[in-house]
Amino acid sequence: MTTTLTVTTSTTSYPVIVGAGVLSTLAGHLAALELRGTLWLIADEHLIAVAEHIAGMLSTAGFRVRITTIPSGEQSKSFNELHRLYDWMIENGIERRDAVLALGGGVVGDLAGFAAATILRGVALVQLPSTLLAMVDAAVGGKTGINHPLGKNLIGAFHQPRLVLADTHLLATLPPRELRAGWAEVIKHGIIRDAELFFALEELASSQGWHATNAAYWDAQNIELTTKLTAIIARAVAVKVEVVSRDEFERGERITLNYGHTIGHAIEQLLGYRLLHGECVAIGMDAAARIAVALGLCPPALVERQRKLLAAYGLSTALPTDLDRDAVLALIGRDKKVQAGKVRWILPTAIGQVVVRSDVPFDVVEAVLASDQV
């Protein structure tokens, strides 16, 4: 089953194709997009075999391809790694009509995307996400960038891809922990604007058990389950496609995609990226929902239901015991969602509905960080 969605913004339009095996259609799509220059394939180091397979396929179809890999992990979203990519492309004669292909998770997509956005003032970008997190979120919508020692994603650019191919077969290559972390963003999309997606995730968890979402199940043997999971993933991607189509540059509703990210980003950074992005987002979603309860925006039952679903997909919502709460409070003020000195919180009012609030009292956030209780 393949689902084709279209991002249509005021500046561009491009397909987002989700399905098992869709990578085999890459050459045809590139030809249709008239991307006939050299293809600079930037891959996560763990995907070198997949990258070589793709390069072979593209070469057979008459394309020129160069490959490089980047080390896995958030540390690669750095000036050093970006510089290395610039050196590689410039020394090997990159031209304006060329394209960068980003094969990997959010780190590769953000880093390779930013290189594509900035080299020669911008070349074409194609996103080939390999993780659940990148498929449903990072690869769609054109956010690219690197981290600064003082904060995550503080340097970057909007650079929309020409094509996103999300091949769910690649999820079989993921360590189970990575896959689990990706479910946090899928659940997030259910909470922020698609209650039916949230209910479908609940139904899947109760009928199959959370282990059904584990990588071991992503095999050709279990076609029924794989089809179900792929449909759920496509639905989560559709949320992202709709939101960025309406608000490409995060002037309004796109900020809702950052549900759970205000505290999540701070935890990620303070723990030196020991926890994965999705794991931190799960903790941040729980904290945001508890803030909403404290403000009377939603009932405590929402926190419990969200917790239960996150747990069903293997995600903890407990604040790490060694987390410096004061440092979290200090970091939140540096978040990109701060406007006129105020933190903009994305808070749930119901499953499938959130509001943006800039008037959350400091002591409410402090109290939520001091305890895991609703």
Known catalytic residue at 189: no
How near is the Cβ of 191 to ligand GLY at its closest, in Å?
14
How near is the Cβ of 294 to ligand GLY at its closest, in Å?
25
What's the farthest any 2 CA atoms get from each other in the chain? Answer: 62
Site mask for ligand GLY (CB under 6 A), range 243-272, x = bound: -----------x--xx--------------
User: Which is nearer to ligand GLY, 35 or 139 (by Cβ)?
Assistant: 139
Site mask for ligand GLY (CB under 6 A), range 333-362, x = bound: ------------------------------
User: Which is nearer to ligand GLY, 197 or 312 (by Cβ)?
Assistant: 197
Known catalytic residue at 334: no
Known catalytic residue at 250: yes
What b/e sequence results for 311-328 when a residue is b if at least 16 CB atoms lie within 10 Å of its CB, and e otherwise? ebbbbebebeeebeeeeb
* Nearest of 227, 190, 225, 194 to residue 211 by alpha carbon: 225
Which residue in the list 77, 188, 240, 344 is annotated as catalytic? Answer: 240
Known catalytic residue at 261: yes
Which residue in the list 143, 159, 188, 193 is annotated as catalytic? Answer: 143
Binding to ligand GLY (CB under 6 A): which residues in 117-176?
137, 141, 143
How near is the Cβ of 224 to ligand GLY at its closest, in Å?
31
**Which residue minimizes CB distance to ligand GLY?**
257
User: Which is nearer to ligand GLY, 19 or 142 (by Cβ)?
Assistant: 142
Residue 188 binds to ligand GLY (criterion: CB under 6 A): no
Q: How far is CA 173 from CA 30, 49, 105, 203, 223, in A?
A: 24, 11, 12, 25, 17
User: Which is nearer to ligand GLY, 23 or 257 (by Cβ)?
Assistant: 257
User: Which is nearer to ligand GLY, 144 or 226 (by Cβ)?
Assistant: 144
Known catalytic residue at 92: no
How near is the Cβ of 145 to ligand GLY at its closest, in Å?
11
Known catalytic residue at 240: yes
What's the residue count for the chain? 374
* Distance of alpha carbon 278 from alpha carbon 155, whole angstroms: 21
Phi, psi of 145 (to 5 degrees): 160, 180
Partners of 3 in the β-ladder: 18
How near is the Cβ of 143 to ligand GLY at its closest, in Å?
5
Known catalytic residue at 83: no
User: Which is nearer to ligand GLY, 127 or 306 (by Cβ)?
Assistant: 127
How near is the Cβ of 37 to ligand GLY at its closest, in Å?
27
By DSSP bridging, strand 39-44 and strand 99-104 are parallel
**Interface positions with ligand GLY (CB under 6 A):** 137, 141, 143, 254, 257-258
Residues annotated as catalytic are 121, 143, 185, 240, 250, 254, 258, 261, 265, 277
